[in-house]
Chain A
Amino acid sequence: QSVLTQPPSVSGAPGQRVTISCTGSSSNIGAGYDVHWYQQLPGTAPKLLIYGNSNRPSGVPDRFSGSKSGTSASLAITGLQAEDEADYYCQSYDSSLSGHYVFGTGTKVTVL
């Protein structure tokens, strides 16, 4: 029961910029909890892509960037590459019901 809503799919040509939204509510993103992003390549486990709204772990290319505003967050991929074709998930913490973690509904990025 995801409480973070993402578009099911986005697509772009190589080199283009795409963005993925993650919409939450006043008990998670809007409450000040950070948003994190994960990339899941086909057949593999998720990998941390962005943490703390906009920070990249070591080794993540700088064409990936994140932002947060109000009850939403966004992931941007600039200079889209074929290897970026994957599923992307946002994640945050929700303070309702004794507190729990939540993932987004997931977005499939297709490189045309």
Chain B
Amino acid sequence: QITLKESGPTLVKPTQTLTLTCTFSGFSLSTSGVGVGWIRQPPGKALEWLALIYWDDDKRYSPSLKSRLTITKDTSKNQVVLTMTNMDPVDTATYYCAHLLVGATTDYFDYWGQGTLVTVSS
């Protein structure tokens, strides 16, 4: 049974750096063909993919946010960490982590965490 859970601050100030942790169980991020990604959703708005890390430590970032994002993994702790620098009120959103299954032409998120709401305000 795969589960994921996000943790981190609920409130950050503008210009600060946000650090979110995804703690998962039921799979290993050293297993070929899996990944963990981060997706966010501003209140009332659409999903936006942010970053992803694969089993082999390859990484992908949203082109529009690449300069602000860093994703890392700690396989021994079953955790993936996302950092986002220079936070702004427009970054207020629910942040989700999700398990990715990798295929030749078909990568999809089959398990999601419950999400954590991060508010950016002074």
Binding site for B on A (CB under 8 A): 1-2, 32-34, 36, 38, 40, 45-48, 51-52, 57, 89, 91, 93, 97-106
Encoded as 1 (CB less than 8 Å from any A CB) or 0, chain B from 89 to 122 comes to 0000000100000010111111111110000000
Shortest CB–CB separation between residue B3 and chain A, in angstroms? 12
Instruction: Give the chain A neighbours of B52 by CB distance below 8 A.
Output: 101
Name the CB-closest residue of A to B48. Answer: A103
Could you say which of A1, A46, A57, A100 contacts B47, with CB atoms under 8 Å apart?
A46
| Total of A-B residue pairs, C-beta within 8 Å | 71
Binding site for A on B (CB under 8 A): 37, 39, 46-49, 52, 60-64, 96, 103, 105-115
Q: Check B60–A89 contact: CB distance below 8 A.
A: no
Q: Check B109–A48 contact: CB distance below 8 A.
A: yes
Q: Check A34–B46 contact: CB distance below 8 A.
A: no
Instruction: Give the chain A neighbours of B49 by CB distance below 8 A.
Output: 91, 100-103
Q: Check A101–B60 contact: CB distance below 8 A.
A: yes
Instruction: Give the chain B neighbours of A91 by CB distance below 8 A.
Output: 47, 49, 108-109
Instruction: Give the chain B neighbours of A101 by CB distance below 8 A.
Output: 37, 49, 52, 60, 107
